[in-house]
Structure 1
Amino acid sequence: MYLYSDMEMFLRPRILLFGRDPAWFGGVVNFLAALQKETKKTVEYYNFTIGQRPGNPLPISKYLTPLVDAICLTTLIFRERFDSYHVNPSLNPASLIRDGLFLLILRCFKARNVVVSFHGWEPSTARAIENNHLSRFLFRTVFGWPDHILVLADSFRDWLVAQGLPAERIHRFTTMFDGDEAKSAVDSTDPSGDTIRLLYLSRIIREKGIFELVEAFSTLSREDGRLELVIAGTGSEENVVRQRVVELGLEGRVRFPGYCRGGDKWKLIYSSDIFLLPSSYGEGCPVSLLEAMAAGLPVITTPVGGIPHIVEDGKHGFLLAEVTPWHIADGIRRLVTDSQLRKRMGELNRKEAWEKYEAEKVARRFERLYRGEGWS
């Protein structure tokens, strides 16, 4: 545990932190909550809420909210002084327009120690920018001036440099998991149970490989009666996936607990044996992956985004060469039939996750950045 000095607690930097309403679900919301929790003694945060608010169903609010937010930001900067400004965009059109507007306002006011952390990353948006001269110019102008630009993968960094952003300002960061939550949750694993539980914990969308996973499980369920699949989360394809489970006759072998958070989420993770994220989506550094590793689960995932920086094939689990039912089933089969391999990978994952990705350790790097000490 890090011990704070009296000077650190007295000289707390004031940070303007941009993020969505905490009532929304999602990785960025959880990341910012963990960051503030771990540094609340030494950093003073002013949360600037952006985007649509929960409970506002009016379609027009989607377009008016960024303008209202921009006016509020301008008024706030007139009135208040901050030591650092932390903007958290994703590489998708809506976020780039919204957060780009905020960055232009900050630039007009000559804000200093501006931090931009890219979380989500849509490859289609990256291609659209790089293939259009005007888009490249606008992107470079709006997102290339901040003091620190943080990304979740070296490939993202290389892309930014190729668009003309300064390499010396771009650094790779990781997301984090809440160690206090993990410790306080009850470890509900039953070591004497025969069930081998496979866990998918993410949005239920096609790009995450959920349909291929269900097909793979259909094959494996006929081979091994011990297997159970848990699909935790919500998403646009949930009803279609549920229907496919019924068509395959898997109702008794597949569970849908919905969106899980806090202690319920950790109990679910602890009670599982293998974590699955066969995604072809532009993943950054999925928090659910770190949480599964922290709980000692071997993982089966794909080498997209920042995942290869976390998972080494054959060491922490398996990286799928292709997202097909056959490849997914093969990876699961290798772990199911070798309990010692599962145990060895799980123990290594637990050790490395707590050493590298626990919230206290990651948050300290951001605190140093806020204090103007650079990224280290």
Structure 2
Amino acid sequence: MAKKNILILTPSLHNSGGVANYYSILQNKFPFDYAFFIVGKREGDAQKDTRTRHLVRLISDYCAFIRTLWRSDLDLVLINPSLNFNGFSRDYIFYLIAKLLKKKTIVFFRGWDDNYAKVVFTGKFRYFFRPLRNTDGFIVLAKCFSDTITSRLNTSRVFVESTIFDERILPQGYDALYNLKNPNEKIRMLFLSRIEADKGIYESIAAYKALRAKNVNVELVIAGDGSEASNIQRMIAEHDDEGLRYLGRISGAEKADALLSSSVLLFPSMHAEGMPNTVLEAMGCGLAVLTTRVGGINDFFVGDLMGAELTGDLTQGIVGAVSALVSDNARLKSISEYNYSFAKQYFHSERVVERLDHIIDSVIHNSDCGSFWYESEAR
């Protein structure tokens, strides 16, 4: 089969977002010829992004995109928008340009806003977005998103995919990984997410305090930024507890250390999620995951095997689940090893790039391809 030539629209790979992380991990592993077309703010652009600068850059990007498509012998264009007003209003123009120039196109929806999905596919402005129905293929991050759009499309090629875990941070072998955990001989819980009320940050802190009041030997490390960050910093300072720490926004080696040294991820989100990369990263690093069944998590998460499903009173759910794990080290290790193996099988880069390659082949050649990244015995 002839080698494929793919153009991938992405923000700068030096950005901190999920799309940039995904392609920075995969960029040297694609089995096809590819080029990145960078949209949005560039690395090293220190000037304030005023409305005028943003508009000028956007027009320049559209013009450069037209020139690239006109001059290139491309098999397919892969666009990676978030399905929300800001992200999609920009990237929809790239999509229209690609279709006007008769390029096969896959739209890979990353972020997902249910309300905006209704605007695009069922609302009074749906006719403006009607050309989107002729996309050659879609990729989404949860089966519920696929169910939302499939009946509105002129294609059956809607693929449910996962995001990715960067296995480069791992030591060699599971035993070496497990030996890094709980350096203070306490079960370390990690909250790694946006610091927002609907992400469950306050429930996580309340659960930690309740566990300590019951003399459960745990600590809580909080990492991320967001609108509630300053309030959380103040609460922690007032609490004056060395077992409760706030790291702020972390990346690179600091993020790897937080994941590798923790045993339990707290992800009690009530937010509209896609496929939260934090959960995949935690599983890849052998953490038990305590989570609500939001977004793509609902497609694969099995509480008894992977940690615990949180419902109802989230604070009490965390307290109960952590108490049970602390009192049963054998089960905690079993969950840790299961999550590590599951992530290796499904979320490591070689598996993700293999599935993406099959999807692209399917769209280009109108061939068969599995539509779902994971099929469990229970499905």
Sort the TM-score into its range (normalised by shorter chain): 0.7 to 0.9
How far off its partner does 1:107 sit? 0.9
Contact residue 302 and residue 320 of structure 1 kept, 8 A: yes
Task: Give the superposition deviation at 1:195.
Answer: 1.1
Query: Which residue matches 1:267?
Result: 257
Which residue of 196, 199, 207 corresponds with 2:190?
A: 199
> Which residue identity lines up with residue 94 of structure 1 in the other structure?
N
1:105 and 2:93 matched: no
Task: Please point out which of 139, 142, 150 is paired with 1:150.
Answer: 139
CA distance in 2, matches of 1:190, 1:291: 15
Give % identity. 29
In structure 2, which of residues 193, 211, 214 is the aligned counterpart of residue 220 of structure 1? 211
Give the AA of the match of 1:161.
T
- Cα distance, 1:237–1:366 mapped onto 2, change above 3 Å: same
Amino acid at match of 1:320: L
1:332 aligned residue: 322
Structure 1 match to 2:376: none
Shift in Å, 1:304: 0.8
- Preserved contact between residue 214 and residue 245 of structure 1 (Cα < 8 Å): no
Question: Unaligned stretches of 5+ in structure 1?
Answer: 1-7
1:124 to 115, 132, 153: 115
Contact map agreement 2:106 2:137 (CA 8 A) in 1: yes
Q: Which residue pairs with 2:21 in the alignment? A: 30
Aligned length: 360
Say which SS state the counterpart of residue 35 (structure 2) adopts. strand
Q: CA RMSD in A?
A: 2.4
Per the TM alignment, residue 236 of structure 1 is displaced from its structure 2 partner at its CA by 2.8
The AA in structure 1 aligned to 2:103 is: A
1:73 to 60, 65, 71: 65
Match in the other structure for 1:347: 337
1:19-51 Cα offsets, whole Å, 9 max, x none, are 111221021111111222322xx3222111112
Pick one of 244, 258, 266 that aligns with 1:276.
266
1:235 lines up with 2:226 in the alignment = yes
Select 2:180's aligned residue among 172, 176, 189: 189
Residue range with higher mean Cα deviation, 24-33 or 49-58:
49-58
C-alpha change, 1:323 and 1:305, in structure 2 (3 Å) is farther
Are residue 292 (structure 1) and residue 282 (structure 2) matched?
yes
On the 8 A contact 1:122/1:281 being kept in 2, the answer is: no
Separation in 2 of the partners of 1:215 and 1:241? 12
Structure 2 segments unaligned to the other structure (5+ residues): 371-379
Instruction: Give 2:85's match in structure 1, choosing from 76, 83, 93.
Output: 93
- How much does 1:229 deviate? 0.8
For the Cα contact (< 8 Å) 2:286–2:337, is it kept in 1? yes
> What is the CA-CA distance between 1:122 and the residue it aligns to?
1.9
TM-score, normalization by structure 1: 0.88
- CA deviation string 1:207-238 (max 9, x = no partner): 21112212222222222362111112222321
TM-score, normalising length: structure 2? 0.87
Larger mean CA deviation between 98-107 and 206-215 belongs to 206-215
Give the Å deviation of 1:182.
Answer: 2.3
CA 1:66–1:225: 2 relative to 1, 3 Å: same
User: 2:242 matched to 1:252?
Assistant: yes
Q: Which residue is equivalent to 1:44?
A: 33
